[in-house]
Amino acid sequence: MKKSVFLIIPLLMASCSKPSSEAQQMEDSLTSVVNTEVKRKDSVSKPIAEDSLQTEHVKSAGEAVKIVNAEKLPCTIDQKFDAKIQKLVIRIPNYSKPSIHGSISTQNNNMNVRFNQIKLSDGTYDGPFGKEISYQIKNKGEIWLIVGKNLMAEGAVEGDFSVTVE
Protein backbone atom coordinates (compact mmCIF):
# COMPACT_ATOMS: atom_id res chain seq x y z
CA MET A 1 0.00 0.00 0.00
CA LYS A 2 2.87 2.33 0.74
CA LYS A 3 4.17 1.65 -2.74
CA SER A 4 0.89 2.66 -4.31
CA VAL A 5 0.83 5.93 -2.31
CA PHE A 6 4.35 6.70 -3.48
CA LEU A 7 3.25 6.09 -7.06
CA ILE A 8 0.13 8.26 -6.78
CA ILE A 9 1.89 11.26 -5.24
CA PRO A 10 4.27 11.83 -8.18
CA LEU A 11 1.38 11.44 -10.61
CA LEU A 12 -0.60 14.09 -8.74
CA MET A 13 2.40 16.40 -8.68
CA ALA A 14 2.93 15.98 -12.40
CA SER A 15 -0.71 16.60 -13.18
CA CYS A 16 -0.82 19.73 -10.99
CA SER A 17 2.26 21.23 -12.56
CA LYS A 18 1.02 20.69 -16.13
CA PRO A 19 -1.82 23.29 -16.15
CA SER A 20 0.55 25.98 -14.94
CA SER A 21 2.63 25.62 -18.10
CA GLU A 22 -0.57 25.68 -20.17
CA ALA A 23 -1.71 28.79 -18.31
CA GLN A 24 1.62 30.42 -19.06
CA GLN A 25 1.24 29.55 -22.74
CA MET A 26 -2.27 31.01 -22.70
CA GLU A 27 -0.95 34.20 -21.12
CA ASP A 28 1.72 34.44 -23.80
CA SER A 29 -0.83 33.96 -26.57
CA LEU A 30 -3.15 36.56 -25.02
CA THR A 31 -0.28 38.99 -24.69
CA SER A 32 0.59 38.53 -28.34
CA VAL A 33 -3.01 39.18 -29.31
CA VAL A 34 -3.16 42.32 -27.20
CA ASN A 35 0.13 43.62 -28.55
CA THR A 36 -0.89 43.41 -32.21
CA GLU A 37 -1.14 46.77 -33.91
CA VAL A 38 -4.49 48.11 -35.00
CA LYS A 39 -4.53 49.91 -38.32
CA ARG A 40 -6.87 52.87 -38.31
CA LYS A 41 -8.61 54.06 -41.41
CA ASP A 42 -8.54 57.78 -42.01
CA SER A 43 -11.91 58.83 -43.40
CA VAL A 44 -10.89 62.49 -43.51
CA SER A 45 -8.18 61.93 -46.10
CA LYS A 46 -10.49 60.04 -48.48
CA PRO A 47 -11.19 62.01 -51.63
CA ILE A 48 -14.70 63.39 -51.96
CA ALA A 49 -16.49 62.91 -55.25
CA GLU A 50 -16.95 66.21 -57.02
CA ASP A 51 -20.25 65.16 -58.56
CA SER A 52 -23.14 66.51 -56.50
CA LEU A 53 -25.53 63.78 -57.62
CA GLN A 54 -25.29 60.17 -56.62
CA THR A 55 -27.74 57.75 -58.17
CA GLU A 56 -28.82 54.73 -56.23
CA HIS A 57 -30.18 51.67 -57.92
CA VAL A 58 -33.90 51.40 -58.40
CA LYS A 59 -35.03 50.27 -54.95
CA SER A 60 -38.45 48.96 -55.80
CA ALA A 61 -40.42 48.61 -58.98
CA GLY A 62 -41.07 52.04 -60.42
CA GLU A 63 -38.84 54.14 -58.15
CA ALA A 64 -35.55 55.96 -58.81
CA VAL A 65 -33.59 57.63 -56.00
CA LYS A 66 -31.16 60.54 -56.39
CA ILE A 67 -29.03 61.88 -53.54
CA VAL A 68 -28.14 65.56 -53.77
CA ASN A 69 -25.50 67.24 -51.63
CA ALA A 70 -27.16 70.19 -49.85
CA GLU A 71 -24.01 72.29 -50.22
CA LYS A 72 -24.20 72.03 -54.03
CA LEU A 73 -27.71 73.53 -54.32
CA PRO A 74 -29.18 74.94 -56.55
CA CYS A 75 -29.06 72.07 -59.01
CA THR A 76 -31.08 70.60 -61.85
CA ILE A 77 -31.87 66.91 -62.15
CA ASP A 78 -32.85 65.41 -65.49
CA GLN A 79 -35.08 62.35 -65.31
CA LYS A 80 -37.20 60.24 -67.61
CA PHE A 81 -40.38 58.45 -66.64
CA ASP A 82 -41.04 55.32 -68.65
CA ALA A 83 -42.99 52.11 -68.19
CA LYS A 84 -40.58 50.95 -65.43
CA ILE A 85 -39.85 54.16 -63.52
CA GLN A 86 -42.85 56.25 -62.43
CA LYS A 87 -41.49 57.85 -59.24
CA LEU A 88 -38.43 59.96 -58.39
CA VAL A 89 -37.20 60.44 -54.82
CA ILE A 90 -34.72 63.29 -54.34
CA ARG A 91 -32.92 62.86 -51.02
CA ILE A 92 -31.07 65.87 -49.59
CA PRO A 93 -29.10 64.89 -46.46
CA ASN A 94 -28.01 67.53 -43.93
CA TYR A 95 -30.33 70.24 -45.26
CA SER A 96 -29.98 73.31 -43.02
CA LYS A 97 -31.65 76.19 -44.90
CA PRO A 98 -34.94 77.65 -43.61
CA SER A 99 -36.86 76.95 -46.84
CA ILE A 100 -36.70 74.83 -49.97
CA HIS A 101 -37.90 75.69 -53.46
CA GLY A 102 -38.35 73.39 -56.43
CA SER A 103 -39.86 73.43 -59.88
CA ILE A 104 -40.56 70.83 -62.55
CA SER A 105 -40.22 71.66 -66.22
CA THR A 106 -41.36 69.19 -68.86
CA GLN A 107 -40.61 68.95 -72.56
CA ASN A 108 -44.22 67.96 -73.18
CA ASN A 109 -46.72 70.46 -71.73
CA ASN A 110 -49.28 67.67 -71.47
CA MET A 111 -47.08 65.56 -69.15
CA ASN A 112 -48.71 64.55 -65.88
CA VAL A 113 -46.01 65.03 -63.21
CA ARG A 114 -45.90 66.91 -59.90
CA PHE A 115 -44.31 67.09 -56.44
CA ASN A 116 -46.39 64.47 -54.66
CA GLN A 117 -44.89 64.79 -51.17
CA ILE A 118 -42.11 66.20 -49.06
CA LYS A 119 -40.65 64.14 -46.22
CA LEU A 120 -39.22 66.27 -43.43
CA SER A 121 -36.34 65.45 -41.09
CA ASP A 122 -38.73 64.48 -38.27
CA GLY A 123 -40.30 61.79 -40.49
CA THR A 124 -43.55 63.60 -41.27
CA TYR A 125 -44.90 63.99 -44.79
CA ASP A 126 -46.76 66.86 -46.43
CA GLY A 127 -48.37 67.19 -49.82
CA PRO A 128 -49.55 66.98 -52.53
CA PHE A 129 -48.15 69.96 -54.39
CA GLY A 130 -48.10 71.03 -58.03
CA LYS A 131 -45.25 71.56 -60.47
CA GLU A 132 -43.70 74.04 -58.04
CA ILE A 133 -42.98 73.79 -54.35
CA SER A 134 -41.96 76.36 -51.78
CA TYR A 135 -41.81 74.99 -48.24
CA GLN A 136 -40.61 76.32 -44.88
CA ILE A 137 -38.24 73.89 -43.15
CA LYS A 138 -38.32 73.93 -39.34
CA ASN A 139 -35.60 71.39 -38.46
CA LYS A 140 -32.24 70.55 -39.96
CA GLY A 141 -31.79 67.07 -41.38
CA GLU A 142 -32.57 64.91 -44.39
CA ILE A 143 -35.32 66.15 -46.70
CA TRP A 144 -37.00 64.06 -49.40
CA LEU A 145 -38.82 65.48 -52.42
CA ILE A 146 -41.04 62.84 -54.01
CA VAL A 147 -41.98 63.43 -57.65
CA GLY A 148 -44.55 61.32 -59.43
CA LYS A 149 -47.67 61.33 -61.52
CA ASN A 150 -50.82 63.16 -60.48
CA LEU A 151 -53.56 60.59 -60.00
CA MET A 152 -56.24 63.31 -60.14
CA ALA A 153 -55.30 64.61 -63.58
CA GLU A 154 -54.97 63.34 -67.10
CA GLY A 155 -51.95 63.49 -69.33
CA ALA A 156 -48.92 61.53 -70.42
CA VAL A 157 -47.01 59.81 -67.64
CA GLU A 158 -43.99 58.97 -69.77
CA GLY A 159 -41.37 61.42 -70.99
CA ASP A 160 -38.41 63.60 -70.09
CA PHE A 161 -38.50 66.31 -67.44
CA SER A 162 -36.13 68.21 -65.18
CA VAL A 163 -36.40 69.17 -61.52
CA THR A 164 -34.67 72.30 -60.24
CA VAL A 165 -34.06 72.41 -56.48
CA GLU A 166 -32.91 75.56 -54.68
| Domain residue ranges in the chain | 1-39, 53-165
The pLDDT value given to residue 5? 62
Q: Are strands 75-81 and 159-165 parallel, antiparallel or unpaired?
A: antiparallel
Q: Is-above-0.85 flag for pTM?
A: no
CATH class for the region spanning 53-165: mainly beta
pLDDT at 122: 94
Q: How far apart are CA 136 and CA 73, in angstroms?
A: 16
- Cα 14 to Cα 8: distance, rounded to the nearest angstrom: 10
The Cα–Cα gap between 100 and 154 comes to: 28
Residues of the chain with pLDDT under 70: 1-7, 10-12, 14-61
Pairing relationship of beta strands 87-95 and 141-148 according to DSSP bridges: antiparallel
pLDDT at 32: 47
